[in-house]
Chain A
Amino acid sequence: MAAAISCSPTDLRPLLGAAANASAAAEYICSRFDAVSNKFVDTAYAVDNTYLLFSAYLVFAMQFGFAMLCAGSVRAKNTMNIMLTNVLDAATSSIFYYLFGFALAFGKPSNGFIGQHFFGLNKFPSQSFDYGYFLYQWSFAIAAAGITSGSIAERTQFVAYLIYSSFLTGFVYPIVSHWFWSADGWASPTRADNLLFGSGVIDFAGSGVVHLVGGIAGLWGALIEGPRIGRFDQEGRSVAMRGHNDTLVVLGTFLLWFGWYGFNAGSFLNILKAYRTSGSYYGQWSAIGRTAVTTTLAGCSAALTTLFGKRLLSSHWNVTDVCKGLLGGFAAITSGCSVVDPWAAIICGFVVAWVLIGYNKLAEKLKYDDPLKAAQLHGGCGSWGIIFTALFAKKAYVNEIYAGQPNRPYGLLMGGGGKLLAAHLVQIVVFIGFVSVTMGTLFFLLHKLKLLRISTEVEMAGMDVTSHGGLAYVYNDEFGYPATPKLGSNTGTTQSV
């Protein structure tokens, strides 16, 4: 919120000197300015809430994008299942995040580990928190839960989804976001005092907090329950299990791209803020525009690198690989999008494309099966993004966004020393540790209770038929007339998606 205009009647009154009613005149004039000042405060709240709410709607649209990406990437017989998990990530998470997730994440004042206020949005709204902020953070929480569902797709019991999703959104994710995003968090860059390594961790929109968390959780789930039947043959060679609809994959990818503008640029939370003196063309609105540009360039560069990289490696131009590369670029730029220059974003995207290709090859060697390659993409590219930020964060941008701390560290390759990198390495280690201990144990328990993986018969038949009321696609009507015309005829309906 911009600083208020100050008009003090006691200062003005002597300047009015000989005027008959100088005091009254001073009071009157200053009261007019106070009214103007209050109107500015109203305006700023309205503008910032508009910005934040529409950013939240954009991040929510990513649920839709991820649902389409998932649907298109799995086999047709499991489409109903994966889409239901996506709908329910959003639905169950709302309840849990409202009841206690948001409180554990942002309740203040609190200690460095966990929050303890605002349960059930108690004491809302206040000077520092309003409903728009809750909705925005909720949309992030459901994104993290969605990521994990990709790793365990096509072979997980539905009740296991409900349990892991509630636990992740209600507890594990909020705690992690408290550490790095709450002003009380032990590793947060906005702490008033006692910054980790004098720096805190700069994970602006969550390469670590969202992507690495979702990816590591998914990794454990997929590891513990093992690969899908048929994914690796008897000799251990990998068998491609293609998704059933690449159009949905592209649809989902574009929607995720669209929503990412809310995810990254929206993480500023407000737009009406001057950086230098008031009245300049340069302000937080410029940084927001720049963040949208760095996001775009990282994705574009990752997509192009993947296109040509896969052309070299596999001799054809593959749209689904390009889509995954694009998303990997976004996952990586997410942590540093606001503190790097556009040219650095191009480098980020270029490197991350190779990181993803590398992790995918490693996964195959280790016989790790992840239908959405979520652990490789979100975990692998997310961790590269954390390191990238520690290398390329620019001094001017770091100090504009995290103001109030002179001489704070910034990117190593920009001359800012190694402290930011050290803090970021700590972030990676801590994530892997905490998420493994919590989600790994949960998945293991579910596995022991035989609640995790579905039976072989169900897996062969497909979960839609056995547990979800039937297949997603019905191309023959009840009388058996096919929807697709025979070759050579122009009659009949068009095959629909």
Chain B
Amino acid sequence: MATWATLDCSATQLADLLGPNSTGAAHFICDQIAGVSTKLSDTAYAVDTTYLLFSAYLVFSMQLGFAMLCAGSVRAKNTMNIMLTNVLDAAAGGLFYYLFGFAFAFGGPSNGFIGHHFFGLSKVPSATGFDYSHFLYQWAFAIAAAGITSGSIAERTQFVAYLIYSSFLTGFVYPVVSHWFWSVDGWASAGNTENLLFGTGVIDFAGSGVVHMVGGIAGLWGAFIEGPRMGRFDHSGRAVALRGHSASLVVLGTFLLWFGWYGFNPGSFTKILSPYGSSGSYYGMWSAVGRTAVTTTLAGCTAALTTLFGKRILSGHWNVTDVCNGLLGGFAAITAGCSVVEPWAAIVCGFVAAIVLISCNKLAEKLKYDDPLEAAQLHGGCGAWGIIFTALFATEKYVNEVYPGKEGRPYGLFMGGGGKLLGAHLIQIVVIIGWVSATMGPLFFVLHKLKLLRISAEDEMAGMDLTRHGGFAYVYHDDEDSEKPNVIQLRKVVEPNTSSTPPSV
């Protein structure tokens, strides 16, 4: 039964109050109360499942947003490729997360490192608290993490490398990280009340670290190992802008991501029908859910405005695609602390996130690091800032409401809560960088050594759509169709009998 729904009615106590020979009446009345209690339980499950499922659908729509953002940010000749990777992140992620990803992440009871129940959703739903809706919600998060990485290695990565890294990330690397910070058994989880790291655990509510940093660091290694796109840095080492082919798609994608973030952040409460304190008050988890939607919004808006004016000063014009990236950086940063900070603090978060993103981008240019979606800078850099931000601004009241069950726990340093939360959060940053580098780094390196990672120079110049994906994404004139010089060329390249070396994927 849903715990909120429990109503006490002691027949013996009531019988005493009613006087002699009233046991029958007391039982009758308490039976009615028990009936009310079970109905409340059904109601709570229905309400909370509705809330969670619709939040999951919203997070899923972020896949679409990211697909459009990616498509618009790459050159037209690689559009088919990047969109296929986005569709497949979701599809392959569905299968692997169902088979074992969810089990590694949330299988319980288990040790602090990795889960080992619920493989293939066995024993779900169960009284231990997981239903199908929880699986769907977590799946939507898992595919978001894999999507982030695809942005860093766009435009120059072999398709089979995408399939391999994506399955490994969604099926193993990401679930293990989410186990540490989100499972009640996880060694660093804020919900592990028996054994809290530094007496606090890590507060990464919706995943600035678990999702954004993981995706960003994985992308960093992929992009670093395979090197910049051809032409991105000229002979003197100066950066050359390789502009995306559609700003409209970038904006469409950004807005869809914003829309979906209302599932990503407030949805991470996973339920809504829960009062804080005593029942019957206007203030409950539903208020915290609303507040989280507000902090999310304010952080994004502030980051967008800061980026607008910052780039105006730095580059002399008002740039919509930069503003979009700034906006998303604000969201990535607030994701960790969205539920435990005041709205005014979210404004601070967004302001700093914009500066962090601009700085990380400048640093990347100096180091000749090429990331077509700025994914490592945005998700890695702003994600890390978000983790630190939370450790500074988390309020005592909200921390204890969202993570009940431990009196006197640490909270934000600037709010008077001491340095322990910051200590735990610095550990989180180090551990995520370490684990993701130790897993995804070698994977990308092995793929690189096996010549499975980067595409050939010819493929890169012609564009992968033409060479590997059946043709361009855009056919605006009929006569392009009927002339088809590229199709003839395509047949020559891929016909297995005529070429001496089999075409690499």
Contact = CB atoms under 8 A, between A and B. Distances in A.
Interface stretch (B33-41, B183-191, B285-293, B310-318): B33-41
Contact of A247 (B61, B79, B125, B241): B79
A19 B18 CA distance: 8
Interface in A276-310: 277-286, 288-290, 292-293, 296-297, 299-301, 303-304, 307
A47 B469 contact: no
Contact of A258 (B60, B81, B243): B60
Contacts of B2: 281
Contact of A244 (B86, B125, B476): B476
Contacts of A496: 246-248
A279 B1 contact: yes
Contacts of A243: 475
A129 interface: no
A296 B136 contact: yes
A243 B471 CA distance: 11
B132 interface: yes
Given A250-B67, A490-B243, A2 B32 contact: no
Question: Which residue, of A19, A278, A322, has the highest number of chain B Cβ atoms within 10 A?
Answer: A278
Contacts of A293: 98, 121, 132, 135-136
A466 to B, nearest CB: 15
B80 A319 contact: yes
Interface string B44-85: 011101100110110011011001100110001001110110
A274 interface: yes
Interface in B76-104: 76, 79-81, 83-84, 86-88, 90-95, 98
A24 interface: no
B459 to A, nearest CB: 12
B39 A40 contact: yes
Interface in B347-380: none
Contacts of B46: 44, 47-48, 51, 271-273, 283-285
Contact of B95 (A77, A304, A323, A495): A304
Given A40-B39, A47-B47, A326-B91, A255 B64 contact: yes
B182 interface: no
Interface stretch (B19-27, B205-213, B214-222, B388-396): B19-27
B132 A286 contact: yes
A294 to B, nearest CB: 9
B133 A319 contact: no
Contacts of B120: 342-343
Nearest to B37: A279
Contact of B470 (A17, A316, A323, A346): A316
B57 A300 contact: no
A292 B469 contact: no
B344 interface: no
A122 interface: no
B245 interface: yes
Given A251-B68, A315-B494, A278 B83 contact: no
A5 B35 contact: yes
A356 B249 CA distance: 30
B252 to A, nearest CB: 8
A262 B57 CA distance: 9
Contacts of B131: 281, 285-286, 289
Interface in B89-142: 90-95, 98, 120-121, 125-127, 129, 131-136, 139
Interface residues of A, number: 91
Interface in B489-505: 490, 494, 496, 503, 505
Interface stretch (A8-16, A140-148, A439-447): A8-16
A261 interface: yes
Given A254-B64, A495-B76, A319 B247 contact: no
Nearest to B134: A289
A36 interface: yes
A258 B249 CA distance: 18
B49 A44 contact: no
A315 B131 CA distance: 41
A449 interface: no
Nearest to B94: A300
Interface string B3-38: 001000000000000111110110011001001111
B469 A497 contact: no
A297 B503 CA distance: 31
Contacts of B241: 490
A69 to B, nearest CB: 13
B98 A247 contact: no
Interface of B: 1-2, 5, 18-22, 24-25, 28-29, 32, 35-39, 41-43, 45-47, 49-50, 53-54, 56-57, 60-61, 63-64, 67-68, 71-72, 76, 79-81, 83-84, 86-88, 90-95, 98, 120-121, 125-127, 129, 131-136, 139, 159, 241, 243-249, 252, 468-471, 473-478, 481-482, 490, 494, 496, 503, 505
12 contacts: A12-B28, A247-B71, A247-B79, A258-B64, A279-B1, A289-B132, A293-B98, A293-B132, A303-B87, A317-B468, A322-B88, A497-B249
Given A286-B125, A322-B87, 16 more contacts: A12-B29, A15-B22, A19-B19, A40-B36, A48-B46, A241-B481, A246-B80, A250-B71, A272-B43, A272-B47, A297-B95, A307-B91, A315-B503, A319-B80, A319-B84, A494-B243
